Amino acid sequence: MGFNYELLKAFTDHLGIDLEMVTEKHIVHAMDLLNSGQADILALDLTVSSSRKKDITFSDPIAETRQVLVQRKPRYWRGMTEDAINSKLVRRQIDLGRKTIYVQSGSAHAERIRTLANEIGDSINVVEVPYDAEELIKNVVHGQIDYTICDENIATVYSMYYPDIDISTPVSFNQNIAWGLRKFNSTRLQEELNRWIAGYRKTGAYSYLYAKYFKNSESGMIIRSDYYYINTGRISQYDDLIKSASARINWDWRLLAALICQESRFDPKVVSSMGAYGLMQVMPVTGQNFNIDITASPAENIRAGTMYINWLQSIFEPKIANPEERIKFILASYNAGPGHVLDAIHLAEKNGTDPGKWDGSVALWLNRKADPKYYTDSVVKFGSFHAGESLSFVTGILERYDHYRNIVPAEAKLGMLSKADIHGIQLY
C-alpha cells in the first residue's frame, strides 16, 4: 500500500504491464539501482532540485509540498496556551542557528538546511543518517533527537498518530515532488509517464488517492497498526505462530506467511466451498490423519498445515534435488494434491523434459492433464486435472514471498538511534 505504490499500479495498469517493485530507503543506493538498470523509476517522493538534475531525469510533478521542521512539543502542552507552547518551540528559521538537525543521508532536506544556514548567516549542524523520514520522526517522538526535517504531507500523516510532535514551522517554499528516471535511454518512458501524469492528476481518482493518504484522519491508523512493517516488521497477528511452525519444517517464515495469506488472507475462520478450514485451509480429513482438530485454534490449524507440508517434503526431497525448485512442487501439491504433480513428473520424464524443473517442464505437463491425450497416458495414475488454479497458486505465493523478503527482514529491527549512534556521528 501507499501513495506511490498505488500511483505506480495505476500507471502500469495503464500500460498493461505487471509492476515489479523493489524497496530501497537509502536514496544513494536507490539511484545506483536506477543507473545500473536494475530499476526504471524511482518512486521516492523526490524533491526536484537543480543538483539532482545532474544525476537523474525527473518526471512531471506528482505532487507539491514544502519541508517542515519536526520537533517535540513541550511537556504538558495540552494544559498550556498556544502562546506558551510557541515560546518553547522554534518558530523562526533564524532560530535554527547553532541547532543540530538529523536528516536522511542524500536527501533534499540536507541540501535545504545547508542553504538555509547560508541564508540566515549562521551555522546549523546537519547530521546525515541512513534512516528515512518516518524513522527519524519516531526518534524525535522518543526524545532520541530534537529535530528532523520532513515533507509536510508525510509529516501531517504522522502528526495524526504522534500528537506530541509539532510540524508548523516551514523551512522551505512549496517544492515539486516527482519520480526519477535514468538520464539515458529513458526518453520514451519519460514521455509516456508525463502524458499519463498530466491526465491522471486531473481525475477524481488522483484527488481521492491523495486525500486517502495525506488528508484522511484515519491515515494514522496505518501507522498505529501492529502490522505496519515500518514499525514492527510484522506481517500478521499470527507471525509468532508462523515463525515457530516454520522452524519445525525448516522453512523461511515469510514463505509460510505468503502461503497463509494466499489461502485465507489471515482469516482463521474462513471455510472454502470444499470444506477446507482456517488459516491454512486444511481439509478435515487431513486433520484427522494427523489426529488434530483443525478448528480448535489458529495454532492447531497451522500445526496441521505444516505437518502436511512436512509430509509433502518427504515425498519430493528424494525426487527434486534443487531446494528452490522443490518448493514449487510442494506448493503445487499443497493445492492440487501430490498425485497430480507426480503424474506431471512422469509425463515430463516420458516426453523428454526435465522432471526436476517446474517452469516450462512439470508445470506445462500438469496443465496438459486436462487433455484426454495426456490424462489417459499409461504413466498417469490420477486422471484428468484442470491446473489453472494450482499454477496461479504457486506463482502468487512466490511473488508475495519475494515482496515479503524485500520488505520484511528475516528478523526485523526498528530504526532507532542509540545514544552511542548520536554521539558517534560526525556533524557537518
Q: Are residues 403 and 418 in the same domain?
A: no
Residue 231 covered by a domain: no
Determine, yes or no, domain membership for 228. Answer: no
**C-alpha to C-alpha distance for 196 and 236, rounded to whole angstroms:** 35
Asked whether residue 223 is domain-assigned, the answer is no
Q: Which of 319, 363, 324, 310 is nearest to 340 (CA)?
A: 363
Q: What is the mean pLDDT of residues 75-87?
A: 93
Residues above pLDDT 90, as percent of the chain: 71
Q: How many CB atoms lie within 10 A of CB 267?
A: 11
Model confidence pLDDT, tens digit, residues 289-332: 999 999 999 999 999 999 999 999 999 999 999 999 999 999 99
- Looking at the structure of the chain, the number of domains it has is 3
- What is the largest distance, in Å, between two alpha-carbon atoms of the chain? 87
- Taking the C-alpha atoms of residue 330 and residue 328, their distance in angstroms, rounded to an integer, is 5
A 10 A CB-CB count for 390 gives: 23
CA dist 382 and 105 (Å) reads: 59
CA dihedral (171, 231, 281, 248) in degrees, to 10, reads: 140
**62: closest CA among 1, 5, 140?**
5
Is residue 73 located within the same domain as residue 96? yes
Residue numbers of the domain that contains 102: 67-172+414-424
Residue 64 has pLDDT above 90, yes or no: yes
Instruction: Indicate whether 192 and 247 sit together in one domain.
Output: no
- Residue 178: pLDDT over 80: yes
CATH number of the domain bearing residue 130: 3.40.190.10
Regarding whether 337 and 196 lie in a shared domain, the answer is: no
Instruction: Give the pLDDT confidence score for residue 157 in this predicted structure.
Output: 83
- Is the residue at 224 inside a domain? no
User: For the chain, what percentages of helix, strand and coil (3-state, to nearest 5) are there?
Assistant: 50, 10, 35
Q: What is the mean pLDDT of residues 217-221?
A: 56
> What residues are labeled active site?
263
* C-alpha to C-alpha distance for 417 and 135, rounded to whole angstroms: 9
3-state SS class at 58: strand
The three-point CA angle 315-321-326 to 5° equals 60
Model pLDDT, residue 229: 55
**328 found inside a domain:** yes
Of residues 408 and 238, the one with the higher pLDDT is 238
Q: Is there a single domain that holds both residue 245 and residue 383?
A: yes
- Specify the DSSP class assigned to residue 94: G
Q: Both 122 and 36 in a single domain?
A: no
Q: For residue 323, give the 3-state DSSP assignment.
A: helix
Task: Please give the pLDDT value at position 200.
Answer: 96
Instruction: Identify whether residues 53 and 136 lie together within a single domain.
Output: no
The answer as to whether 13 is a domain residue is: yes
133 within some domain: yes
Asked whether residue 419 is domain-assigned, the answer is: yes
193 & 301 share domain: no
pLDDT at position 269, please?
Answer: 92
Residue 416 has pLDDT above 60, yes or no: no
Judge if 51 and 92 occupy the same domain.
no
Is the pLDDT assigned to residue 196 strictly greater than 60? Answer: yes
Buried/exposed 216-236: b ≥16 CB within 10 Å, e otherwise: eeebbebbeeeebebbebbbb
CATH of the domain at 284: 1.10.530.10
Q: Which residues contact 177 (CB under 8 A, 6 or more apart)?
A: 45, 46, 47, 48, 61, 62, 63, 64, 65, 151
Helix (H) or strand (E) holding 147: strand 147-151
One domain, residues 155 and 209: no
State whether 266 and 402 are in the same domain.
yes
pLDDT tens digit sequence for 358-377? 999 999 999 999 999 999 99
DSSP lists the bridge partners of residue 127 as 102
Same domain, 44 and 74: no
Predicted pLDDT at 425: 39
Residue 231: the pLDDT is: 54
What are 7-28's pLDDT values in tens digits?
Answer: 999 999 999 998 888 888 778 8
